[in-house]
Amino acid sequence: MAILIRPVVEDDLEKVGQLYSKVYTSKDFDKFTPAVSIEYIAWIYRRCPELAFVAVDGQKIVGGYLAAIKPWFNGPHVVDGEIFVDNDYRRQGIGLRLTQTLLLQAKEKFGASEVEALAFTDEVGPEFSSVRWHEKNGRHIIKELVLVEGSIEETLVIIDQRIKRTSTQS
Ligand SMILES: CC(C)(COP(=O)(O)OP(=O)(O)OC[C@H]1O[C@@H](n2cnc3c(N)ncnc32)[C@H](O)[C@@H]1OP(=O)(O)O)[C@@H](O)C(=O)NCCC(=O)NCCS
């Protein structure tokens, strides 16, 4: 059966979330449960419903790409996207078709000029590594930027200590 790319509708969110959970569950990682994934996908979708597409094989959702738009100094950027294709349907061009559809829509509807993405490097292993895929599609790695994340609990403890130290110094 031919694979179609179409916009996401509210009724799809549960199935799209279930697919996201399936894609991001491996033998070593099972934190994106269906419930968490459905909530996450619904959040992305509701931020920008115009930039949300699925690939369908008949009634079955086999891929998705959902993203948002941010205003930036050189024009609107497509940001915070999630693209994922069912393992059984990979390497058939579905990811490319989802990307093409979403970026054309972003350009036409929002005048978007650039697309940004967070991608796992090869260090994560072949299952989740996607940086090469982005590179093949003309994206560039910005070596000057790194992802910084931390526990709020730990950050608050450290910040508290640093504030106290600063105030005793002045
Ligand atoms: C990345 C992903 C969306 C690609 O979807 P896909 O439908 O398999 O990709 P396509 O078939 O459209 O890709 C076509 C081209 O990309 C290549 N490609 C596909 N997945 C790749 C990967 N993970 N790394 C490197 N190249 C990849 C194909 O070989 C093909 O290139 P070629 O024409 O030179 O042979 C899919 O592998 C996926 O869902 N991965 C897990 C989730 C993920 O990593 N998402 C991205 C997070 S930023």
**pLDDT tens sequence across 129-155:** 899 999 999 999 999 999 999 999 999
Whether residue 128 has its Cβ less than 6 Å from ligand 1: yes
Q: Which residue has the higher pLDDT, 129 or 110?
A: 110
pLDDT at 147: 93
Q: What is the 3-state secondary structure (H, E, C) of the chain?
A: CCEEEEECCHHHHHHHHHHHHHHCCECCECCCCHHHHHHHHHHHHHHCHHHEEEEEECCEEEEEEEEEEECCCCCCEEEEEEEEECHHHCCCCHHHHHHHHHHHHHHHHHCCCEECCCCCCHHHCCCCCCHHHHHHCCCCCCCCCCCCCCCHHHHHHHHHHHHHHHHHHC
- Tell how far the Cα of 158 is from the centroid of ligand 1, in angstroms: 40
Whether the pLDDT of residue 169 is over 90: the answer is no
- Tell how far the Cα of 133 is from the centroid of ligand 1, in angstroms: 5
> What superfamily in CATH does domain 3-143 come from?
Gcn5-related N-acetyltransferase (GNAT) (3.40.630.30)
Residue whose Cα lies nearest atom 19 of ligand 1: it is: 91
- Tell how far the Cα of 100 is from the centroid of ligand 1, in angstroms: 13
Whether residue 98 has its Cβ less than 6 Å from ligand 1: no
pLDDT at 139: 94
Q: Say what the pTM is.
A: 0.93
Assign 14 a pLDDT band (cuts: 50, 70, 90).
Answer: very high
